[in-house]
Amino acid sequence: MKKIKCFLALVLALCFLLPTALFLACGDENPQLNSPALEESVSAETESPSSPESSAPTTSTPTPPKEEDVTPTPPKTETVKYIRLTGNNVNVRKGAGTDSTKLGNAEKGTVYALIGQTGNWYKTYYKNQTAYIYAEYASVFTLEKSADEDVESVIEEGYKLLGVPYVYGAVRFHDGKGNLLGGFSAQKFDCSSLVQYVFYKGAGVKLGMHTRAQVVQGKPVKRADLRRGDCIYFTNEDRQYNTGIERVGHVAVYLGNDYILHTASDYARIEKLSAKRWSYYIEARRFL
């Protein structure tokens, strides 16, 4: 009887152990890998840095701001104003009013410097004095101003002579060395005496007494490089067939945009270079 009880106890033990053995035989080799506690541990390790380097805050070299292309502001161009007469036989008066003394009259297209305005009257220079022209008979245009004050001073002296009669062989202001000559009058000029006068009065430059003396002074300038204040030397109908320096017979002060100030056959004036005048071109000189 005792042996039977032992046998039954063994059978019962086997019955309880057999399912566990079967489970272990069919399950994963390492059941701990599927436990919730292990999954949480793995997840925590995955999310946490694994080294001191990775635990430090991420830093990167700041990218310098992109330097934008900055277009420099060009310097403001200063201009000089002129008036061109739009009517015929326009009166030039001493004051700003029709009751003012008439100094003379000028034809359509004549150009003067504009130095001021009083009401409807433009102020200018005429024959060495200030004068006025009714604005209704004139239009305004501009030329670029030189940055050289001496150049503008020379040209300003030329403005004052507009309208002064041309006289061939007029007495020069000085002898070419700065010695003033007797008999000089600022009421008559030929081309070279006018240029000599305005350069001496405006900037103290001593030019020769005629075009053939002046054309070898200063610095030569290419036609393409002409700028305000340069002097242009031409031949003329009387001298065009001469040779060498004897071809030179006329001079004008360049104002820009093909405008010149000179005196040729009637009176001192500002005008635009014509194709014929350009055909007489010889060279240009710079004295300032």
Residues 140-174 pLDDT 10s = 999 999 999 999 999 999 999 999 999 999 999 99
Residue 211 clears pLDDT 50, i.e. is over it: yes
Residue 67 confidence (pLDDT): 54
CA distances from 254 to 11, 151, 260 (A): 133, 11, 5
Contact 71, 64 (CB under 8 A): no
Predicted confidence (pLDDT) at residue 23 exceeds the cutoff of 50: no
Predicted confidence (pLDDT) at residue 87 exceeds the cutoff of 80: yes
Q: What is the distance between the alpha carbons of residues 5 and 23, in angstroms, rounded to a whole number? A: 28
Q: Which CATH number fits domain 79-144: 3.30.1360.40, 3.40.50.740, 3.40.50.620, 2.30.30.40?
A: 2.30.30.40
Is pLDDT above 60 for 22?
Answer: no
pLDDT at position 38 over 50: no
Residue 60 pLDDT class (50, 70, 90 cuts): low
| Pairwise CA distance, residues 123 & 117, whole Å | 5
The pLDDT value recorded for residue 270 is 98
Q: Hey, is 252 helix, strand or coil? A: strand
> What is the pTM assigned to this prediction?
0.74
Q: What is the pLDDT of residue 43?
A: 41
Supply the pLDDT for residue 73. 72
Residues 36, 16: Cα–Cα separation, whole Å: 27
Say what the pLDDT of residue 231 is: 98
Q: What is the identity of the amino acid at 251?
A: V
With a cut of 70, say whether residue 274 has pLDDT above it.
yes
Residue 143 identity: L
Q: Which two tokens stand for residue 59?
A: 């830093």
What is the percent of the chain where pLDDT is above 70? 74
Average pLDDT, the chain: 84
Residue 212: pLDDT band (50, 70, 90) is very high
Per-residue pLDDT at 204: 98
pLDDT tens for each residue of 168-191: 999 999 999 999 999 999 999 999
Confidence bin at 37 (pLDDT 50/70/90): very low
Range 205-233 average pLDDT: 98
pLDDT value of position 115:
97
- CATH number for region 149-286: 3.90.1720.10
pLDDT at residue 70 is higher than 90: no
Range(s) for CATH 2.30.30.40 in the chain?
79-144
Residue range(s) in the chain whose domain bears CATH number 3.90.1720.10: 149-286
| C-alpha span between 186 and 157 (Å, rounded) | 11
